[in-house]
Amino acid sequence: MRLSGNTVEPTFTRKVQVVVVGTGPGGSTVAKRLAEAGRDVLMIEAGAYVPASEFTQREGEMMRKLYHEAGLRTTDDGSMAMLHGRVVGGSSVVNYLDCFRTPPALLRDWARRFDLPDLEPEKMAPRFEKIEEILHVRKLAVANLNVNNDKLRRGAEALGWKGDTFHRNAQDCYGSGFCDLGCAYNAKQSAAITFVPLATKAGATLLTDARVDRVLTAAGRATGVEGTLLDAARQPRGTFRIDADVVVVSGGAIHTPYLLLSSGVDDPSGQLGRNFWTHPGTPVCGWYPGERIANYEGIKQGYYIGEFSDVLNDHPIGALLEGIGAPPGITATIFPGFGLERQRQLLRYNEYTAAGILLRDQAPGRISVGDGRPKIAWTFAPEDAWRMRQAVEKCAEAYLASGAKAALTGHNRLTVLRSTRDFKKLDEVGWSGGELALFCFHQMGTARMAGSPAGGVVTPSGRMWAYANLYVADGSLFPTASGVNPQLTIYALSDVVADGILAESAVAG
């Protein structure tokens, strides 16, 4: 059953066995598992339910409808854009479909360093198999790469670097190129068309347009949640209160700590909101004069270079280089230069390839409670900036090796690299946030899992240490940054949490 905060009675109350806050990969996984186990489950989502027929492919309209703060959220210092979805299905609705299993070496590290034996790769493998089947994960064929991604592939192959096509959660994808504005063809197998409907099919109820403002607790137990019902213009139109035997917070790695901290929960670890890993990303473009690249056409993310990844290839830089299509609005905001110089660059839009660096960060930020919204404290640490510089150089090298006349970086100051001799220019430009366009698509780590309160915010089953029945299930659980695109890891860790709830909670099925 699906209910909307826009239409239910303006003082909505309900008593359920399990309430799940958020319907991204984390929340929907737990809701599906518990509903299938016979529990009475209510999913609550701040965003709207948006069917494929309403994905208009118009950038301004969809950004407002599908993203937190219309996609304009940034870190407090404004140095990094913070993109994440606010819609049924969460960011899985706007993501680029890349699917990586958590690299085995990383799972082993998490299992041993954070005392999480259930995360050993052999134990996680069956979870990934099950999740990949539901999400219809398949490897993209080289023949289906668009020109943009194929240039990156050719560059990597010319240089003898490791790289591959992505695995993707898609079915009958013909490459409309609008992944980040919602898939109008339902080809993307997001949580909104997989795990959420599987949960409702098993009996769960979905309440949309309803923002949870507080987790209610008493005497070491969570007793429910309360919040605000929203109308179609996202203005408050009422309130709700849900009493529950088990509360699961799955608002994503920014809103989960924000909600829990705003609710004043006990956190013996003292780490709630800390360890905010972001995979800082910056664009690099290749310029191929006279060629039609049209990086926005076709499958946006098709190919990655894994040569410089620490988790895939034990490389000290610790970055993935991923082909990426850039819509015109975002491109216009990040293109370097001013005035006529900028106009000249933008007129060449169709001749540019684009790739994004995905850096495995070593210096995390922190989420705390601001005045009515999350505060996102983060600065680009010099050690991460230095590795970013190395990764940008490698990406430029790949483009030059595949025939680009020049490579451009994402610096505010136009930085054009016409040959490897120009790479010394990279030592003359600044690398701090504010000097370089920085994007975060992956939020992780703010309620990390560990075997003891000294190590993390939640137990190996995702339960907050001070409560018998308050769980976290989303990207907040990551003990460290994953170094690869995180969605499959989030589904899999939340599957571990679902097992934990079933084993620990006394709620009968």
Ligand X SMILES: Cc1cc2nc3c(=O)[nH]c(=O)nc-3n(C[C@H](O)[C@H](O)[C@H](O)COP(=O)(O)OP(=O)(O)OC[C@H]3O[C@@H](n4cnc5c(N)ncnc54)[C@H](O)[C@@H]3O)c2cc1C
List residues near ligand X by CB under 6 A.
21-27, 44-47, 83-87, 90-92, 94-98, 180, 211-212, 250-253, 255, 259, 301, 441-442, 474-475, 485-487, 490
**Under DSSP, is residue 19 helix (H, G, I), strand (E, B) or coil?**
strand
For ligand X, the closer CB: 33 or 211: 211
Cβ contacts of residue 349 below 8 Å, gap of 6+?
A: 328, 331
CA 452 – CA 115 distance, rounded (Å): 8
User: Which CB, 177 or 337, lies closer to ligand X?
Assistant: 177
Query: How far apart (Å, rounded) are the C-alpha atoms in residues 293 and 315?
Result: 30
And the tokens for 253?
A: 């790695």
Please state the closest distance from residue 83 (CB atom) to ligand X, in A.
Answer: 4
Torsion of CA 395, 396, 400, 402, to 10 degrees: 20
The H or E element containing residue 407 is: strand 406-409
Between 293 and 326, CB nearer to ligand X: 326
CB of 384 to ligand X, least distance (A): 19
Q: Cβ closer to ligand X: 190 or 390?
A: 190
User: How large is the C-alpha radius of gyration of the chain?
Assistant: 22
* Beta-strand relationship, 221-230 and 210-218: antiparallel
Distance CA 66, CA 148 (A): 26
**Rounded to whole angstroms, how far apart are CA atoms 282 and 355?**
8
Q: How far is the CB of 87 from ligand X (least distance, A)?
A: 6
- Give the shortest CB-159-to-ligand X separation in angstroms: 24
Give the pairing of strands 236-249 and 221-230: antiparallel
Cβ burial of 352 (10 Å; 0-12, 13-18, 19+) is: buried
CB of 369 to ligand X, least distance (A): 13
H/E stretch holding 244: strand 236-249
CB of 67 to ligand X, least distance (A): 7
**Cβ closer to ligand X: 87 or 183?**
87
Q: Of 326 and 385, which has the nearer Cβ to ligand X?
A: 326
Closest approach, Cβ 47 to ligand X, in A, equals: 4
- Amino acid identity of 81? A
Cβ contacts of 470 within 8 Å, gap of 6 or more: 215, 217, 221, 222, 247, 249, 265, 463, 464
The dihedral formed by the CA atoms of 354, 360, 365 and 370, expressed in degrees to the nearest 10: 50
* Shortest distance, position 255 Cβ to ligand X, whole Å: 3
What distance in Å separates the CA atoms of residue 312 and residue 171, rounded to the nearest whole number?
27
Name the residue nearer to ligand X (CB basis): 417 or 464: 464
- The answer to whether 176 touches 296, Cβ cutoff 8 Å, is no
Q: Cβ of residue 158: shortest distance to ligand X, in angstroms?
A: 26
d(CA 210, CA 362): 35
Closest CB to ligand X among residues 17, 102? 102
Shortest distance, CB of residue 183 to ligand X, whole angstroms? 12
Q: What residue type is 18 in one-letter code?
A: V
| Residue with smaller CB distance to ligand X, 192 or 507 | 192
Select 94 or 450, whichever has its Cβ closest to ligand X.
Answer: 94
